[in-house]
Chain A
Amino acid sequence: MTDAHPHSDADFVSGAKARLPGAFERPLIHRMMPAAIVAALAVPFVYSAVAFGATPARFIEGLTRLGNILSFMFPPHIWTTWQEWSEILEGLGETVVMAFLGTLLGALAALPLALLGAKNIMPFSWLRLLSRRGFDALRAVEQIILALIFIRAFGLGPMAGILAIAVSEIGTFAKLFAEAIENTSRKPVDGVKASGGSNMQAIRYAIMPQALPVILSIILYNFESNARSGTILGIVGAGGIGFLLADRMHAFRWPEAWSIIFLIIATVYCIDAASAWLRKRLI
């Protein structure tokens, strides 16, 4: 039977290979590409490691110290007097309060601004684009820089932190709210208009009922994220638990510092759980 075929299998395969090289193996340049990309990405990393003095000796020393610090984690430090506890709990409460009020104020200020930036409400494109750029500029300022500025004006304490959260959230909220408002359906608006409603009534009865669940969920999400990041505001003195944490760290009271970190994590868990419950109830 084999004699009937002039070509053996090997010949057939090599013939096919000659005709369709791409079907058998990828061209060299494609095979080299991943390696080349990895190498190109690794060069700046290695350079930075050298430039930043990441020598093995320094790593060993640093990791030994880190291990030392981590060993203070267990058993966790438990404060014995109510005075110490109340200080820590006040700090934690202050962080939560700052996140709550800051997020709320930011949302209240952002809602009217969002209407300016929404395509289906604001007919003048120049005003819309202007307000959008304004939101971008506001978002570009770091919360901690705002906190530093507000500390100069309002003094050390939670007020500076609340205002920093509020102002930095205005930009984020206004952008996200505007997008939520733009993503609503036009049909209810037409309905309100057809039955003789004014523009304000169309916003109130046709757009807001659609956008409000999304807006609430954005607010809750940002509240969670502010409760997490609120810790760092205290490090610069804008109120909250961060101040106590930085203080313990600077004094090398690591067992207490770890306990504070654990309490922060526990608080964040509670807030996440509460906001998940609230989200389920409201939306």
Chain B
Amino acid sequence: MTDLSLAIRNFETDYADARKSARRVQAVSTLLFLSAVLFSAYVGGFFAFTDVTLPSGERVSMLKIWAGLPRLGEYLEKTIPTLRFATLGSDLAEWFWRWETWLRLLWETILIAYAATVLGVAGGFLLSFLAARNLSPGRPVSVVVRRYLEIIRTVPEMVWALIFVFCFGVGPLAGVLAIGVHATGSLGKLYSEANENIDMRPLDGIKASGGNWFQQMRYGAVPQVIPNVISYTLLRFEINVRSSSIIGYVGAGGLGQEIRTAMSLQEYTDLSALFVIILFSVTVIDFLSERLRHRIIGISEHWT
């Protein structure tokens, strides 16, 4: 009886201690988190004040974020085109007045995304076999290739674009290379993860019948990963279309350069027109690529 009550008492003290330390950890981490939030808000200028002239002519000091909100509304309002039902045709024609240029640049945007995807697939696919831990010819090779892929995908497309615009001049070629390099990094990682999840027995079979490393990859690994590779590639193409539509902002071709022009010339309705064009084409491409993805997954199951 006394043993039991002693055990219970021990348990209670242990429990109380555990509760106490858990509470302490929670209090400290909450405090740290809150101070991080406050510090970030301070750095972000959320507590900064700015002088604003009211419509009445009076100058007051108010929070920067509060002063900016009406300006944001005004800006967005200016981008809305005037569309009247009676003159819808001519209003639309005025809204999309540069449609010939925009259509050409849209085509260029999609071509950039396509060519960059091809480059990314070629690079990523070849490197993914070297990067995969189970397939790589040697551990140092896999480590080096992994680091390389990591580095080229950590540097954003926009930064690659700045570098390639300097090297290859202003134009879509720089955009293709920039997005292609970044896509190589992302696809190489995804492909190598697919490679690491394959069944190794087919490769052992090929090795046992005298196949070299390339033959093991070609006939043992590739057939297993192809459905995944195609699916990732199509997803990457969708992402690349989005990237190539803005990469022109730094001079790397595509619709982005029109966004920059419209911004600096304050052609507000052009901005909304470009937005509609990009949104429409991205939606259509996403839809088509999803259909294609499902069909290809169906076919590959049927073939292999």
Q: Which of B37, B65, B176 contacts A101 (CB 8 A)?
A: B37
* CB closest chain-A residue, reference B74: A153
Interface check A144, CB cutoff 8 A: yes
Given A45-B118, A93-B43; A140-B173 close (CB under 8 Å): no
Q: Tell me, in angstroms, the Cα distance from A100 to B35 when the chains sit together.
A: 12
Q: Could you tell me the distance between the alpha carbons of A148 and B75 in the complex, rounded to whole angstroms?
A: 11
A150 at the interface (CB under 8 A from B): yes
Closest residue of chain B to A143, judged by CB? B246
Within 8 A of B (CB), among A92-113: 93-94, 97-98, 100-101, 104
A245 contacts the other chain (CB 8 A): yes
Q: In the complex, which residue of chain B has the Cβ closest to the Cβ of A51?
A: B111
State how many residues of chain B have any CB contact under 8 Å with chain A: 56
Residues of chain B within 8 A (CB-CB) of A63 are 167
Separation in Å of the B69 CB from the closest CB of chain A? 7
Given A52-B173, A153-B72; A264-B163 close (CB under 8 Å)? no
How many A-B pairs fall under 8 Å by CB?
A: 150
> Which among A6-14, A154-162, A169-177, A211-219 touches the partner chain?
A154-162
Known A53-B173, A65-B166; judge A152-B115 contact (CB<8 A). no
Contacts A53-B171, A153-B71: A101 and B41 contacting too (C-beta < 8 A)?
yes
- From B151, B172, B263, contact of A52 by CB (8 A): B172
Interface flags, B115-140, vs A, CB<8A=1, else 0? 10010000000000000000000000
A145 to B277, CA, bound (A): 14
Q: Mark A74-101, 1 if CB is under 8 A from B, else 0.
A: 0000000000000000000110011011
The reply to whether B242 and A142 contact each other, CB–CB distance below 8 Å, is yes
For residue A230, which residue of chain B has the nearest CB?
B156
Residue B212 interfacial (CB < 8 Å): no
B43:A264 contact, CB within 8 angstroms:
no
Q: Mark A7-44, 1 if CB is under 8 A from B, else 0.
A: 00000000000000000000000000000000001001
Interface residues in A, total, Cβ within 8 A: 57
Contact between chains at B41 and A153 (CB < 8 Å) = no
Q: List chain A residues, Cβ under 8 A from B249.
A: 144, 236
Residues of chain A with a CB closer than 8 A to B176's CB: 48, 52, 54
Interface residues of A (CB under 8 A from B): 41, 44-45, 47-49, 51-54, 58, 61-63, 65-66, 69, 93-94, 97-98, 100-101, 104, 137, 140-142, 144-145, 148-150, 152-155, 157-159, 162, 228-229, 231-232, 235-236, 239, 242, 245-246, 249, 252, 261, 264-265, 268
**Extra 6 A-B pairs, beta carbons < 8 Å, given A149-B75, A158-B45:** A53-B171, A65-B167, A94-B43, A229-B156, A231-B159, A232-B157
Supply 18 A–B pairs (Cβ within 8 Å), ascending by A.
A44-B111, A45-B115, A52-B111, A53-B173, A61-B168, A62-B169, A66-B163, A69-B167, A101-B44, A104-B37, A141-B279, A144-B249, A152-B71, A152-B75, A154-B65, A229-B156, A249-B166, A265-B154
